[in-house]
Amino acid sequence: MKKTLLILLILCAGSASGQKFEGLALTPPMGWNSWNHFACDVNEQLIRETADAMVATGMKDAGYRYIVIDDCWHGERDSLGFIHPHPGHFPSGMKALADYIHSLGLKFGIYSDAGWKTCAGRPGSRGREYQDAMQYAAWGVDYLKYDWCYTEGLNAEGAYLTMRDALYEAGRPIVFSLCEWGNHEPWKWGRDIGHLWRTTGDIAVLFDGYVDHGAWKSWGVLQIIDMREGIRQYAGPDHWNDPDMLEVGNGMSVNEDRAHFSMWCMLAAPLMAGNDLRRMSRETLEILTNKEAIAVDQDSLGIQGFRAYVIDSVDVWAKPLMGGDLAVCFLNRGKKPKRIAFDWKKHPIVDDFAEKEFRFDQTEYRLRDLWKKKNIGTTGKVLRFEIPSHDVLMLRLTP
């Protein structure tokens, strides 16, 4: 009788039309995800310690909220088909873990896959979407990353629509992260389905280049920046382009970490740390908690930045902000330091998409260096500076 009632409930849920939970990601989500540093080596002690570290290090105060367990948390499905965590790695269960994370004022995230199996071969959600959504809601999940491995024969938009409806039917507001790698242009159809969608394949701990895994590649920071020009118009409050999680603190140089973080802020990207929060260098922590850079990412106008000029090896990126401010980031892509003399009056910033113009021959702006955290003059004078290799000068301009 119990099994029959359960099946009827799931069928009824599946027949209802759902929708996306609105207003959960009015600015790009900020948090931590286990995959980049730990891959499958996850357990409840690590997750609890990471949540503690997010609070103790000041990352929570800087805006980070989500603790997301990526692939490999899974155990088996029970006789009714409900998924359970691995009993050896998560002996207290996911509800207890979620309760602990919530007690710290943080939010709890989890991972699944639209296919038969996850990318690491654990049970996927295909055909079990409504059951999994019900389970996640019962556990107290706040964020779901939904991958795209083992999805032969599936239509991407339809598969993600099914899980969206399942989450809505389960009744708990959950941020829905579409991890489809950009293969089916999710920016064109994802707005009403999810709160963010991956635009590329996986990131690597690499600033420039790629890692060839045979059947697929993971990409350097510069490659990801270059891959998806021309889609910024699809991003905005509650629907973000996601260039993948951060590799800050995982092995690049301090310059490269700073440039990587700055560019993700300019792209209005989700800021999901991917390092070991329990063992961070001072430089890593300073990058991840730079509130002035984070304010650019979290700006409520929700406009993704764009490449306005290219000067030799230096890209000049611009991002309109609330109140008439403007973020400008000079990115040195080259392997050598680069001296720049930037005449603001000869370089207006015109953003046709946002319908905003910044003409420095007509209006003078104060310049704030967001990494040195000091004012450095105005646009009334030519800006002269040197950028080290693979580094940035990130500025906030205020009229």
51-97 pLDDT, tens digit each: 999 999 999 999 999 999 999 999 999 999 999 999 999 999 999 99
Residue 174 lies in a domain: yes
For residue 7, the model assigns a pLDDT of: 44
> Is 7 inside any structural domain?
no
With a CB cutoff of 8 Å and minimum separation 6, the contacts of 333 are: 208, 222, 313, 314, 315, 390
Provide the 10 A C-beta neighbour count for residue 4. 8
Inside any domain, residue 317: yes
Of 277, 297, 317, the one marking the end of a domain is: 297
Supply the residues annotated as catalytic.
147, 202
What lies within 8 Å, CB to CB, of 379 at 6+ separation is 344, 345, 360, 364, 365, 367, 397
Q: Which domain holds residue 161?
A: 18-297
The pLDDT confidence band at residue 6, using thresholds 50, 70 and 90, is: very low
Please give the Cα distance from 113 to 135 (Å, whole number).
15
| Percent of the chain whose predicted confidence (pLDDT) is above 90 | 95
Residue ending a domain, among 297, 321, 338, is: 297
Q: CATH number of the domain at 283, please.
A: 3.20.20.70
Q: Tell whether the model's pLDDT for residue 13 goes beyond 50.
A: no
Q: What is the pLDDT of residues 197-240, one digit of tens each?
A: 999 999 999 999 999 999 999 999 999 999 998 999 999 999 99
Same domain, 375 and 274: no
CATH number at residue 341: 2.60.40.1180
Task: Say if 10 falls within a structural domain.
Answer: no
Report pLDDT for 295.
98
- Mean per-residue pLDDT over the chain, rounded: 95
Terminal alpha carbon distance of the chain = 69
Q: Which residue has the higher pLDDT, 8 or 273?
A: 273
pLDDT (average), residues 270-296: 98
Q: Which of 246, 264, 297 is the last residue of a domain?
A: 297
Does residue 2 register a pLDDT over 80? no
Give the chain's domain count: 2
Q: Are residues 344 and 234 in the same domain?
A: no
Confidence of residue 18 (pLDDT cuts 50, 70, 90): confident
* 3-class SS of residue 369: strand
Reading the block at residue 19, the tokens are 């929708």
Q: Are 74 and 180 members of one domain?
A: yes
- Residues 368-376: what's their mean pLDDT? 98
The Cα–Cα gap between 190 and 264 comes to 20
Check pLDDT > 50 for residue 46. Answer: yes
11 in a domain, yes or no?
A: no
The pTM of the whole model exceeds 0.75 = yes
Pairing of strands 30-33, 66-68: parallel
Residue 5 has pLDDT above 50, yes or no: no
Cβ atoms of 219 and 200 within 8 Å: the answer is yes
Instruction: State mean pLDDT over 338-361.
Output: 97
Same domain, 94 and 34: yes
Same domain, 150 and 260: yes
Q: At which residue do the structure tokens 């890209």 appear? A: 315
Query: What pLDDT is attached to residue 17?
Result: 63
Regarding whether 219 and 130 lie in a shared domain, the answer is yes
- The span from the CA of 352 to the CA of 226, in Å, is 20
Q: What is residue 5's three-state secondary structure? A: helix
* Residues 327 and 354 reside in one and the same domain: yes
- Whether residues 43 and 175 share a domain: the answer is yes
235 and 321 belong to one structural domain: no
Query: Quick one: 213 and 280 in the same domain?
Result: yes
pLDDT for residue 363: 97
pLDDT in tens, 92-117: 999 999 999 999 999 999 999 999 99
Residue 6 within a domain: no
* Closest of 16, 54, 42 to residue 272, by C-alpha: 54
Asked whether the beta carbons of 112 and 147 are under 8 A apart, the reply is: yes
Say whether pLDDT at 15 is over 60.
no
Residue 393 identity (one-letter amino acid): L
The distance of Cα 299 from the centroid of its chain, to the nearest Å, equals 15
Q: What is the DSSP letter of 305?
A: P
Handedness of CA 211, 249, 121, 165 (dihedral sign): negative
Q: Residue 161 falls within a domain, yes or no?
A: yes
Residues 310 and 285 in one domain: no
Q: Are residues 143 and 268 in the same domain?
A: yes
Is residue 68 included in any domain, yes or no?
A: yes
Q: Look at residue 370 and tell me whether its pLDDT is greater than 90.
A: yes
Cα–Cα distance for residue pair 47/74, rounded to 1 Å: 14
Contact, 109 vs 33, CB < 8 A?
yes
